[in-house]
Amino acid sequence: MKQNIVILTGAGISAESGIKTFRDSNGLWENHAIEDVATPEGFARNPSLVYRFYNARRAQLHDKNVAPNLGHDALVKLEQSDGFDVAIITQNVDNLHERAGSKKVLHMHGELLSALCMYSNQRTYYKDDFDHTTECSCCQRKGGLRPDIVWFGEVPMYMDEIQSLIEQATHFVAIGTSGQVYPAAGFVNFAKQLGITTTEINLVPSDNNYLFDHTYVGPASEAVPQFVNDLINNKNN
Ligand code: APR
């Protein structure tokens, strides 16, 4: 029988790919207060700053030094191994899982390479800068596009699908996430209630590490391949 592996990833899996994590610099994200760049109130207060901030994050994805690392690659290897169904729920807004080759990725906090039209609620793939002067392709109006990012105080995406994925899982794995932001931080509790095996992979164990059955400590580029090899070789079920 196939094992259903549900994997929650956070900023830690992309850290070695050149993308900074959120909570390593006193609540600042790339030198900005999170309230200024990651809340609807911040966007209402200073939209130009928020557009500029996400344009810079989006541009960073095109930097030649930003690329998937061995941690992302190992998850692709798992997906391509016989006997495993793999679903990735990511809190990351980068595209590194897709670039590595993962096929089933749910971006619960949105995506940098997408714009959301506030008039029509439609999403459009965007790889370049946009701001309040950009005309959207769905209704040809200006001023309606916003970054397709779930800000603090907004409801994460795919919650029903995520619940059903965890209900069907045989193994829940959290990689590189501090476990400080809900609802993602609560997925491990849900998995535990269902009696599913749980594993944490992190540079340092997170605050809710006690909820996990197994822990791999180390950088994602080393610890994720180790975990995947153990799983494939049946050492960690
Ligand atoms: N390998 C593995 N884990 C790492 C590495 C690494 N090389 N470097 C850092 N980490 C771990 C840290 O130990 C920490 O637990 O990654 C985690 C990063 O934590 P956060 O910065 O809080 O990121 P995350 O958990 O993804 O944040 C959740 O909060 O700001 C919001 O919406 C944003 O999606 C984000 C959410």
Q: Residues lining ligand 1, judged by CB closer than 6 Å?
A: 10-12, 15-16, 21-23, 91, 109, 176-178, 180-181, 202-204, 206, 219-220
- % of the chain beyond a pLDDT of 70: 97
Nearest CA owner, ligand 1 atom 5: 12
In the prediction, which pLDDT does 24 show?
A: 67
* Most informative mutation of 22, 53, 112, 227 for ligand 1 (most atoms within 8 A of CB): 22
In the numeric block, the tokens 């990651």 are attached to 38
What's the predicted TM-score (pTM) here?
Answer: 0.96
DSSP state of 33: E
Nearest CA owner, ligand 1 atom 7: 219
- Spatial neighbors of 122 by CB under 8 A, at least 6 apart, are 116, 136, 138
Cis amide prior to 183 (ω within 30 degrees):
yes
H/E/C letters for each residue in 169-198?
Answer: CCEEEEECCCCCCCCHHHHHHHHHHCCCEE
Q: Which two tokens stand for residue 192?
A: 């535990």
Q: Which two tokens stand for residue 232?
A: 């494939």
Nearest CA to 37 out of 26, 51, 25 is that of 51
Mean pLDDT (whole number) for 104-131: 96
Give dist(CA 149, CA 145) in Å, integer.
Answer: 12
- Spatial neighbors of 13 by CB under 8 A, at least 6 apart, are 69, 71, 72, 92, 96, 175, 176, 220, 224
Of the listed ranges 5-19, 24-38, 174-188, 207-221, the least confidently predicted one is 24-38
Q: What sections of 85-193 are H helices per DSSP?
A: 96-100, 159-167, 187-193
Whole-Å CA distances, 208 to 5, 75, 89, 213, 219: 20, 23, 18, 11, 18
pLDDT in tens, 73-101: 999 999 999 999 999 999 999 999 999 99
Active-site residue list: 109
Predicted confidence (pLDDT) at residue 22 exceeds the cutoff of 90: no
Q: Which two tokens stand for residue 162?
A: 């995520």
Cα 224 off chain centre by = 16
pLDDT in tens, 148-203: 999 999 999 999 999 999 999 999 999 999 999 999 999 999 999 999 999 999 99
